[in-house]
Amino acid sequence: MRLGIEVSNITKKYNGDPILRNCSFSFKKPGVYILTGPNGCGKSTFLRISSLIEPPDSGTVIFFSDDNPVPADLQLRRRITLVLPKVGVFNATVFRNIAYGLKIRGIHGREAEEKVNRALEFVRLSHKKDQNGLTLSSGETQRLGIARALVIEPEILFLDEPTASVDQKNSLIIEEIILAMKKENGPTVIMTTHDQSQANRLADTLLVIRDGVLSAGGDRK
Amino acid sequence: MDSIIESFSKALSLILNLDRELREIIFLSIEVSGTALIAATIIGLPVSALLGFKRFPLRGAIISMLNTFMGLPPVAVGLFIYLLLSRSGPLGFLALLYTPTAMIIAQTILAFPIVASLSHSAIVSVDPIIRQASMTLGATPLQISLAIIREARYGIISAVIAGLGRVMAEVGAILIVGGNIAGFTRVMTTTIAMETDKGNFELALALGIILLTISLLINLALYFIQKRGVAGVNR
């Protein structure tokens, strides 16, 4: 029933320079997939293409449920979400930021409030809920981004370098959040990081991108 | 010097006693400028959104034109509307010349480029990451646009207030198309001009003080709105 992704022969160029070359992978099982590799290797591009934010130059991204392909429409986009490295915080309270995904789905009132409060608790930001989202530290901002994504209960959660610009304390909190998601049978997580040790700590499946070429590091757990 | 002080004290007495004529002039001014501003906002906001979100031929030319029209000379607008609405003009049959409606039309034309252009600037200044963030959360194109407009709200409110400042202080256009008819189309700015000409400074000064107060309040509102918007970003 859970969504999977079949990425086939993805190629992407920026200004004529190849960023991704014939990358293919099948995200079938739930769990935490970590894409790692040096800066500029194409991890984020791969993630953006896989999450349907950006089209590839060639190749296909097909989502499937029970082996049946799912059309790439708004309904599908509402079953997945991507947290960008620069989260894109609205000039509103933390609470309203997190409630946004619910609001656009027509979920309001007590139901929305309960979901937002749960998400806030999960990312340990309950004490900041009435604060303007733009006033948070970079680590808290990433946690806000994760809460904003989790509140809409995605089946696949893409995280693009969530710990790249945060301090060690927040980095550990984010790792704990990801592990807690896994423990609570949360969404499939597909995450990029250039931190190899973090990749080793979190990954069920490790993927490596080097010079635009994707290779599977294998199942780790 | 004594006559200035005397005029001031009489003007203050007119304000404090809320003279009937003064009251009517103030209410008509607010009615005309307020209606014009609402009309300019209703037309200007969708135009600014269209220019901010869509790419189409002549978009650049329209933006340049709006920017140019922000400095439209009121007398030129007044003359244009006069020619349109005069008995021999193409819209003469509407019999709108020398009515508050004609004044509203003129002020709408003056406020529209300000509201549209400044709102457009506010919309395009929103960080592009907001569009992507909304998209990743499953927003439809309309919901994405609304999220961006919401982020631009302080700039848009500033644009509307700037438009209000423009029309409240305007005299040339409404004098031409309104005719400054007592009790019918006489507003604060046209009264000030006329009473000054007549050497009747008390009423002119009283209205001048009120106009300045309104202008000060508008600018204070603008200052606090901009401060609030910037505070949200910088905190």
Per-domain residue ranges of chain A: 3-219
Q: What number is the average pLDDT over the span B58-62?
A: 96
Confidence tier at B10 by pLDDT (50, 70, 90): confident
Per the CB < 8 Å rule, is A132 touching B232?
A: yes
B220 to chain A, closest Cα gap in Å: 22
Six-digit token string for B44: 């200007």
Q: Lay out the sheet containing A80-83: strands in order across.
A: A80-83, A156-160, A188-193, A32-36, A205-210, A213-219
Confidence (pLDDT) at A54: 93
pLDDT exceeds cutoff 80 at A3: yes
Distance CA A119, CA B104 (A): 51
User: What are A101-110's contacts with CB under 8 Å, separation 24+?
Assistant: A101/A148, A101/A149, A101/A151, A101/A152, A101/B137, A101/B138, A102/A151, A102/A152, A104/B134, A104/B137, A104/B138, A104/B139, A104/B140, A104/B143, A105/A78, A105/A152, A105/B138
Q: B166: helix, coil or strand?
A: helix
Per the CB < 8 Å rule, is B127 touching A104?
A: no
- pLDDT tens for B192-218 read 999 999 988 888 888 888 889 988 998
A17 to chain B, closest Cα gap in Å: 24
Average pLDDT over chain B, rounded to whole?
A: 91
Estimate the share of chain B in helix, then strand, then coil, as percent rounded to the nearest 5: 80, 0, 20
Chain A residues with beta carbon closer than 8 angstroms to that of B232: 91, 132, 134
* Contact assessment for residue A9 and residue A32, using Cβ atoms and an 8 Å cutoff: no
Q: What number is the average pLDDT over the span B10-17?
A: 80
For testing contact with chain A, the best of B127, B134, B137, B235 (most A CBs within 10 A):
B137
Confidence (pLDDT) at A64: 93
Q: What number is the average pLDDT over the span B174-182?
A: 94
pLDDT exceeds cutoff 50 at B234: no
Among candidates B174, B150, B176, B169, which has minimal Cα distance to B212?
B169
Q: What number is the average pLDDT over the span B67-92?
A: 94
pLDDT exceeds cutoff 90 at B219: no
Per-domain residue ranges of chain B: 2-229
DSSP notation for B66-97? HHHHTT--HHHHHHHHHHHHSTTSTTGGG--T
- What is the third-level CATH fold of A3-219? Rossmann fold (3.40.50)
Confidence (pLDDT) at A98: 97
Confidence (pLDDT) at A4: 93
CB pairs under 8 A between A and B: 62
Give me the interface pTM, i.e. the ipTM: 0.91
Confidence tier at A221 by pLDDT (50, 70, 90): low
Per the CB < 8 Å rule, is B138 touching A81?
A: yes
Six-digit token string for A110: 């007590």
Q: May I ask the CATH class of domain B2-229? A: mainly alpha
Q: What number is the average pLDDT over the span B96-105?
A: 97
Q: What number is the average pLDDT over the span A81-108?
A: 96
- pLDDT tens for A31-78 read 999 999 888 889 999 999 999 999 999 999 999 998 899 999 999 999
Chain A residues with beta carbon closer than 8 angstroms to that of B139: 104
The phi, psi pair for A191, rounded to 5°, reads -130, 145
Per the CB < 8 Å rule, is B138 touching A101?
A: yes
Distance CA A181, CA A178 (A): 5
Distance CA B180, CA B201 (A): 17
Confidence (pLDDT) at B6: 79
Chain B residues with beta carbon closer than 8 angstroms to that of A48: none
Per the CB < 8 Å rule, is A74 touching B147?
A: no
pLDDT exceeds cutoff 90 at B232: no
Say how many CA atoms lie within 13 Å of B127 toward its Cβ.
Answer: 13
* Contact assessment for residue B7 and residue B201, using Cβ atoms and an 8 Å cutoff: yes
Confidence (pLDDT) at B221: 86
Average pLDDT over chain A, rounded to whole?
A: 93
Distance CA B114, CA B67 (A): 8
What percentage of chain A reaches a pLDDT higher than 90? 83
* Contact assessment for residue A116 and residue A98, using Cβ atoms and an 8 Å cutoff: yes
Q: What number is the average pLDDT over the span B72-85?
A: 95
Q: Which of B130, B140, B154 is opposite residue A88, by nearest beta carbon?
A: B130
- pLDDT tens for A157-211 read 999 999 998 999 999 999 999 999 999 888 999 999 989 999 999 999 999 998 8
